[in-house]
Structures are given as structure tokens and as C-alpha cells.
Amino acid sequence: MVSTLAVPGTYPTLRDALEVAPDGAVVLLAPGTYRERIDLAGRRLTVRASGDPGSAVVDASGLDGPALAVASGEVEVDGLALVSDDYPAVAIGGGRVRLRRCELSAGYGAGLQVEGGATVDAAEVRVVAGQHGFVFSDAGGTVDSCVVGGVSDDGVIVRLGADPVIRDTRITDCGYRGVYVYQSGRPLIERCEISGTRDAGIVAAGGSSLRVVETWVHQTSGRPAIVVGAGCTATVDACRLEETADPPVEVDPRAQVTMTGAPQGDSDVERLLAELDSMIGLAGVKAEVRSLIDEIQVNEWRRGAGLSVGSASHHLIFTGAPGTGKTTVARIYGRLLRALGVLPDGQFREVSRRDLVGQYIGHTAEKTTTVFEEAMGGVLFIDEAYTLARAGGATADFGQEAIDTLVKLMEDHRERVALIVAGYTREMSDFLDANSGLASRFAKTLEFENYGPDELVMIADRIARNDDYVLADGLPEALWEHFGQLERDRNFGNAREARRLLEGMRKAQSGRLRAMGRMPSRDDLRTLMLADLRVATR
């Protein structure tokens, strides 16, 4: 029969229970914060939260060590929040450890550090703060359905021959790389998402060998999705590499890389159209984009059948207020053109007046041509394009020079680039009047309408859930009333209004939780209340 030890209750402290727990025992932690450390060697036992995951917090801040340290043995930890400051939240130096449904937070150290031949199997573990997320050194195991976010350096490090399997895991918003493999590391990265890194998504160095399978790497701050250094080998199989540097995979001449099974064609088109459909509102815009894609697809089929196909322009005009999804739709449109084989890479480059207009006569044509040529093969997106046509002295002449240059480039290279200009509806009409040939260069105008209260509540709820917040009962109705009262003038920000309001509510929640006089529960930390809305809109 399994021995169960309850803390507090039968034992006042976690340390008391661990000292007397026999092999195979289960230590149950009631909800609350425990200013202790778990330090185990040669033990076989389970430590589990008796309440919801994260309700029992082991906080080792200032206690000169990790919240959980295992030197050897067989240990399972389930549902705890583990917190440290200048040490890893969890440090495993040997044995076998299973982590389930835990939340890890460190100051300078890693969320989880594994070394010394240990094996760690982590499932549904979240690293919410630390210098690194997971660090494997001369160790192995699995990382399954986990999340690493908001760390200051690399999300995952694999080194000294370590060979973990990292599967169905999301690594996001890292201060440096998503995954860094070096010193003969040998990980398998499968069905993961890596995004929002400040450097490359995955980097291999120092004689490492890795496999990356069905993984989505995107938004890497202009750096490559994958970098393979000298002496390394890598297999990249059926991966999505988007919104990264070109080329997305950077390979040293002394490395060996095999690229297989890259997704392409109709399946990619349908996936991107589904991504477009998942956007809130914009029914008219979605229908227009689908119509464009249908026409392009049929033209490709006609070309394949040996039938005549007229020369088509992919240039578009997006009109409407800020915050209505124009940039997001432009990015998806570029990726659709790439999936259809119309554009080579679908890269997206966003520019404004200052990127096109020079400081003297002749300089503008040079700048505009350079920007246009750098966007070849993808989408060039000019936001607030009407500022190029503003009257006012010599500066206006330079803007006119940019417009005249664009008109010629659009015609000469209309099958090699998609130019999308965006801005307020009335001002964009003035922009098109600036050159007699400008309007005819665009295939279509897409009007982005303001969001209504229902759509703004849906947007607010989606933003909140993506950031691990939930709206308390009654809050959606209050948000609907708030959004309904906002004036839809030129200063109305649409989705930006929802994001700005949620930011204010999160700040209000922080003040409310700090004033509680106790450690907030996991539900407390996730829930935004009516009171937070009142403070944010005060």
C-alpha cells in the first residue's frame, strides 16, 4: 500500500515529510506557498499538489539553492510551482525525474537544468521566467507539450552530447535563440513551434547533430530560422519556416544538411486560407482575398494545360482605419502567393515614407528603387502611403518623385513583387490622384471596416487567452458596453484599443493582487475582473 503524507496536516513542513517518507511514498502539498527547498538524493518518491496545478508553490528565493534538486534516485513531481532566484528552479544531477504540470520560474538560472547522465521526462511544464528555459548537458529524456516563454537568453540549450527528444513544445519570446545545440548535442525537435526570438530560431554548432521534424519556426527578428555551423549535421523535414531571414536555413559550407518533405502546394494554400478565416471579422476582406486566390489558382491551372493566361498584377490597395488587420492580411497574402508559386519566397517588407523619400533631388528615386529591388520575390507594404502625396514645399516634390518611381517599377516588375499600399480611405484617394497611371497599376482595393463591439470583445478575449488570462463572469458584457461607447473617429485604434485596454487591466490586476496580503492562486493570477476594467477606464 502506498504511504501518503499530507503537508500541512500530518506534517507541518515539507522538510518534515520528506525526512520520514519511505520509498514509494506520495507527499501531498495543500495549496499555499512553502518557503522551503526540495533536496533529494537516492530517493524514490512522488511530490504532488493536492489542489489545481500551480496551487502549491515551493519558493526557494533567497534560500541558496534550487527549489528542486535531485542528485540521484527516482522522483516524480506533479502540479507544483517551483520558484528560485539566482539558481535554476529545478536542477537534476542524476537519476530519473518526471515533471508533470509544473510551472518553473527562475531569476538568473534556468527553469530546468539537467546534467550528469540524468534522465528527465517533462510533460505540460511551463517555464515563465529565467535566463534559459531547459538546459540539457550530458543528459537525456523528453520534453513533451511544454512551453518556454519570456526567458532572457536561449529558450533551450542542448550540449555535451545530450540527446533529449523535444516534442509538441512551444518556445517563444526568448531574448536570444530559441534552441541552441553545441558541443556534440544530438536532440530531436519534433512538431514544435519556435517564434519571437531575438536571434535565430535554432542554431547548431560545435560538431552537433540534430533532426528538426514538422516544426514551425517564425518571427525571428530578421535572422534565419535555422543555422547549421561547421562540422554539424542536420535533417530538416517538413518544417514551416516563415517570417525569417532569406534564406531561412543558413548552412556553413563545412556542414551537412538534408532538407526533405517541405510542405507546399494546395495543402499550404488551404492552411493559409484557414489562418485568414480565423481572423475576427473582415468578412468582405476575406471574400476578396479568396476571390484573388481563386483567380490566380485557375490561371496556374490554365498555364499548366497550355492555355493562354494574361499578365496579372498582384498589387493591392488596403483602405481603412488603423488596427483593422491590414498588416496581418498583407503577410498572409504574400505567403499565399508563395504557396501558389507566383512569388519565389513571399517575404514581407514593411516601409514608410522615410524609407523611400530622400533629402535632395535624385536621392528619392535611388532610395525607392533600392527598397523595391530588395523586396523582389515578396510583398512590399507601404503603410500610410498617402503621406507621399502630401503638399508642402520641396518635401512634397520628393514624395512625388517616390510615387513616380514606384509607378514605373510596378509595371516593369509586376510579376516579381506584390506592392500593397495602405492608409485611411479618404487620404488614399488623394494618393491615387498624385499620378495618372497609379490607380491602374493596382488589381483591387480592399476596404477594412472598423470593428464593432461584438468583434472587439472577441479580440480582447483572444488576446487575453493567448497571454494565459481569462475574463471573469460579467466582464465580456462590460467590455461590450465600453467598446460601444467609444467614438469611431480618426483616433480610434480598433484592435489596438482592445490591446491597450487589456494592458491597463493587467496593470490594475497586478495592483489588486499585490494588495491581497497573500500569495495569489493560479486562478487569481489568470483572472481579470470587473474591478480591473473599472480601474483601467477610470
Query: For residue 371, what are the CA distances in angstroms to 142, 270, 357, 476, 514?
Result: 45, 31, 11, 44, 49
Query: For residue 467, what are the CA distances in angstroms to 234, 360, 471, 499?
Result: 33, 47, 12, 11
Question: Which tens digits make up the pLDDT trace of 116-159?
Answer: 999 999 999 999 999 999 999 999 999 999 999 989 999 999 99
Beta-carbon neighbour count of residue 42 at 10 Å? 12
Rounded-to-integer distance, Cα 342 and Cα 443, Å: 15
Of the candidates 474, 468, 537, the one whose C-alpha atom is nearest the C-alpha of residue 500 is 537
Output the pLDDT for position 161: 95
Output the pLDDT for position 137: 97
Rounded-to-integer distance, Cα 538 and Cα 534, Å: 6
Output the pLDDT for position 149: 93
Rounded-to-integer distance, Cα 359 and Cα 370, Å: 15
pTM over 0.85: no
Cα 352 from chain centroid? 24
Query: Do residues 195 and 217 lie in contact, with contact meaning Cβ atoms separated by under 8 Å?
Result: yes
475 pLDDT more than 60: yes
Output the pLDDT for position 456: 92
391 pLDDT more than 70: no
Question: Which tens digits make up the pLDDT trace of 253-303?
Answer: 899 998 876 444 455 788 888 888 888 888 899 999 998 888 888 887 777
What percentage of the chain has pLDDT greater than the value 90? 52
Of the candidates 373, 371, 372, 403, the one whose C-alpha atom is nearest the C-alpha of residue 387 is 403
Of the candidates 471, 191, 431, the one whose C-alpha atom is nearest the C-alpha of residue 318 is 431
Classified by CATH at the fold level, domain 266-448 comes out as Rossmann fold (3.40.50)
CA dihedral (13, 14, 15, 18) positive or negative: positive
Question: What contacts 491, CB < 8 A, 6 or more positions away?
Answer: none
Output the pLDDT for position 334: 87
Rounded-to-integer distance, Cα 66 and Cα 37, Å: 7
Query: Do residues 353 and 388 lie in contact, with contact meaning Cβ atoms separated by under 8 Å?
Result: yes
- Average pLDDT, integer, range 367-389: 86
Of the candidates 108, 155, 113, the one whose C-alpha atom is nearest the C-alpha of residue 131 is 108
Give residue limits of the domains in the chain: 4-218, 266-448, 453-536
* Maximum average pLDDT range among 168-182, 321-335, 345-359: 168-182
What percentage of the chain has pLDDT greater than the value 70? 95
- Average pLDDT, integer, range 511-522: 89
Q: Binning pLDDT at 50, 70 and 90, where does residue 393 land?
A: very low
Query: Do residues 25 and 46 lie in contact, with contact meaning Cβ atoms separated by under 8 Å?
Result: yes
> Phi, psi (5° rounding) for residue 317?
-115, 125
Q: Binning pLDDT at 50, 70 and 90, where does residue 200 land?
A: very high
CATH code, residues 453-536: 1.10.8.60
164 pLDDT more than 70: yes
CATH of the domain spanning 4-218, picked from 2.160.20.10, 3.40.1280.10, 3.30.9.10, 3.40.50.1820 = 2.160.20.10
Q: Across the beta sheet with 90-92, what order do the strands follow?
A: 38-40, 68-70, 90-92, 110-114, 132-137, 156-159, 179-181, 202-204, 226-228, 249-251
Query: Do residues 133 and 148 lie in contact, with contact meaning Cβ atoms separated by under 8 Å?
Result: yes
The mean-pLDDT minimum among 5-14, 275-284, 406-415 falls in 406-415
392 pLDDT more than 60: no
Rounded-to-integer distance, Cα 174 and Cα 335, Å: 25
Report the amino acid identity of residue 230: A
Output the pLDDT for position 370: 87
Query: Do residues 148 and 125 lie in contact, with contact meaning Cβ atoms separated by under 8 Å?
Result: no
Question: Which tens digits make up the pLDDT trace of 39-63?
Answer: 999 999 999 999 988 999 999 999 9
Rounded-to-integer distance, Cα 471 and Cα 479, Å: 10
- The single residue listed with the C-alpha cell 520575390 is 377
Query: Do residues 494 and 451 lie in contact, with contact meaning Cβ atoms separated by under 8 Å?
Result: yes
